[in-house]
Amino acid sequence: MIRGMKSGLLAAVSLAFAGCAATGGEPKAASDKPATTASADQPARFSKDPYPSTYKGYPSRLTVVKNVTIFDGEGGRIDNGTIILSSGKILSIGGADVAVPTDADVYDGTGKYLTPGVIDIHSHLGVYPSPSVEGLSDGNEATSPVTPEVWAEHSVWPQDPGFTRALANGGVTTLEILPGSANLMGGRSVVLKNVPARTVQGMKFPGAPYGLKMACGENPKRVYGAKGRMPSTRMGNMAVDRQTWAKAVAYKKKLDEGKAVDRDLAMETLAGVLAGEIRVQNHCYRADEMAQVIDMSHEFGYKIAAFHHAVEAYKIADLLKKEDICVAMWADWWGFKMEAYDSVPENIALVYKAGACTIVHSDDANQIQRLNQEAAKALAAGRRMGMEISDEQAWTWLGINPAKAIGLADKIGSLKPGKMADVVLWNGNPFSVYTRPEKVWIDGALMFDANDPKRRPVTDFELGQPGEGDVK
């Protein structure tokens, strides 16, 4: 089972590399001429990265953690392990025999655990920040059922105190911020490093692919049905989606043929999906509905990177495995609407058992602080029904699998030499309720230390407010 999963993973990683190499970061339809010389009868050369990341890792020190239990994020475990972080990268990882440099900051991890930084593939921090007031509510462009032209990064408020809580309590080092699920096509996601910055660009994960948030099911039909417009049913959802994809296919054909097109931001996003450059992150609960959406992806020729929420994934775990679609789930949310009625606490474990790419996500500003605990509950539920899943295997749900689903498995999600040094040192087994992050490094820089009040970020919003600088 594990072997199968790992080989699937490697295939996906090489596919991601291939995608990058083929496009070279430039649109396929671009002419060779720069934008300044584009004329009306020639396609313009649009930048695909007009809001570029300005994130740079903070200064890091040569760092060693030894005598520590390591979950490597790909299913491996090292007892009495050693890790060396250097210049923002993982330099080496191994057992007690790893040579420790003399000029390093050395931490004794006896009784503690070390994991890759937690990745939350489904967060609305920044677009639905704290305080949750109308003036800051920027997560749903709920004025049209299809808005692939909006970009979450244009809504994110970098001062959201939720980011700092996710870091300090949850060891979250990377988040995918999605638009909300009011719309069938809600817009582009943005992947952030969980490092405070003055600008969103200062948090943007360098080189991360974009995602397209899609939603099926009850939300779009409720939101637009209530406005007396299409879609008001599930068949309406599918019809609007299909009509939009048909338009996108035609748009992309024009681009591919080098024909002139008026700039259409919505179609640019969808063409990017059809070209395999933008990854579909699809909110979808019910098994039957996921199957419909899979057929739709075949009809129009795009790939679904992951289903999110996927409460009924256990009913079609074989299909999801066959389609190589990742599945992001809660441990035990249920009952808040009909499509969440058939939730079972074993969902995550059953999907894992089927060999599909299994992810624990939050979709919640509070639960993002305890994704390790959500994974622990799912793991316990699986074990209760007789599945043999080790702790280190379960950490793939927070490690390499979300990294794969957002297209960053080559950079984060596991502790391998050369990868970004996004690392959490936990003060006990991270699957225990009594455990908290002790230290969190991002790109090798110590960004949180439970023992050092100076390594505890306080957002602008919290300055001068009750409880400023509190442990929280």
Partner 1 sequence: MIRTLLLSAAALVALPAAAQDIAIINAKLVIGDGSAPIEGGTVIVRGGKVVAAGRGVAVPSSIESIDAQGHYVTPGIVAAFSRVGLVEVDAVAGSNDRSAARSRFSAGLDIAPALNPMGSPVAVNRAAGVTRAIVAPGASSNLFAGQGAVVDLADDMDMVTKPRALQFVAFGEAGAAKAGGSRAATFLLFREQLLAARSYARNPATLAEWGNDAMIQRADAEALVRVINGTTPLFVRVDRAADILNVLKLKGELPALKLVLVGATEGWLVAREIAAAKVPVIVSPLSDLPDSFERLGATQSNAGRLEAAGIDVSVGVFDDDDAHKMGYTTQYAGNLVGLSKLPGASGLSWDQAFAAITSAPARAVGMEGSIGSLKPGRAGDVVIWDHDPLELGSRPTAIWIDGKSQSLVTRQDRLRDRYRTPEEGALPKAYDR
Question: Which residues make up the interface to partner 1 (CB under 8 A)?
Answer: 130-133, 161-162, 165, 169, 218, 314-319, 332-338, 341-346, 350, 354, 365-366, 369-370, 373, 376-377, 379-381, 383-385, 427, 431-436, 450-451, 453, 461-462, 465-467, 470-472
Q: What is the largest CA-CA distance in the chain?
A: 70
Nearer to partner 1, 68 or 136 (CB): 136
Give the three-state DSSP class for 283. strand
Distance of alpha carbon 430 from alpha carbon 114, whole angstroms: 9
Distance of alpha carbon 409 from alpha carbon 19, whole angstroms: 13
Short-list 332, 331, 387, 381, CA closest to 358: 331
Contact 145, 100 (CB under 8 A): no
Residues 6+ apart with CB under 8 A from 25: 48, 49
CB of 130 to partner 1, least distance (A): 4
Q: Which helix (H) or strand (E) holds 235?
A: helix 234-256
CB of 395 to partner 1, least distance (A): 14
CB of 285 to partner 1, least distance (A): 12
Using the Cα atoms of residue 130, residue 189, residue 357 and residue 301 in order, give the sign of their dihedral: positive
CB of 461 to partner 1, least distance (A): 7
Nearer to partner 1, 44 or 311 (CB): 311
Nearer to partner 1, 250 or 463 (CB): 463
Distance of alpha carbon 425 from alpha carbon 428, whole angstroms: 9
CB of 455 to partner 1, least distance (A): 12
CB of 462 to partner 1, least distance (A): 7
CA 307-399-345 angle, to 5 degrees, is 55
Nearer to partner 1, 166 or 442 (CB): 166
Burial of 380 (0-12, 13-18, 19+ CB in 10 A): middle
CB of 113 to partner 1, least distance (A): 14
CB of 379 to partner 1, least distance (A): 7
CB of 215 to partner 1, least distance (A): 15
Nearer to partner 1, 261 or 319 (CB): 319
Nearer to partner 1, 21 or 133 (CB): 133
CB of 176 to partner 1, least distance (A): 20
Nearer to partner 1, 283 or 377 (CB): 377
CB of 168 to partner 1, least distance (A): 10
Nearer to partner 1, 168 or 248 (CB): 168
Beta bridge partners of 441: 423, 446
* Tokens linked to 158: 């970098």
Distance of alpha carbon 212 from alpha carbon 215, whole angstroms: 10
Mark residue 12 as left, alpha or beta (left: phi above 0; alpha: psi -120 to 50; beta: remaining).
Answer: alpha
CB of 385 to partner 1, least distance (A): 7
Distance of alpha carbon 186 from alpha carbon 421, whole angstroms: 32
Nearer to partner 1, 78 or 381 (CB): 381
Distance spanning both ends of the chain, measured CA to CA: 41
Nearer to partner 1, 24 or 131 (CB): 131
Nearer to partner 1, 297 or 369 (CB): 369
Nearer to partner 1, 121 or 136 (CB): 136
Short-list 8, 405, 413, 49, CA closest to 213: 405
Distance of alpha carbon 214 from alpha carbon 179, whole angstroms: 9
Helix intervals (H) in 301-399: 317-322, 347-353, 371-384, 391-394
Contact 75, 393 (CB under 8 A): yes
Contact 178, 189 (CB under 8 A): yes
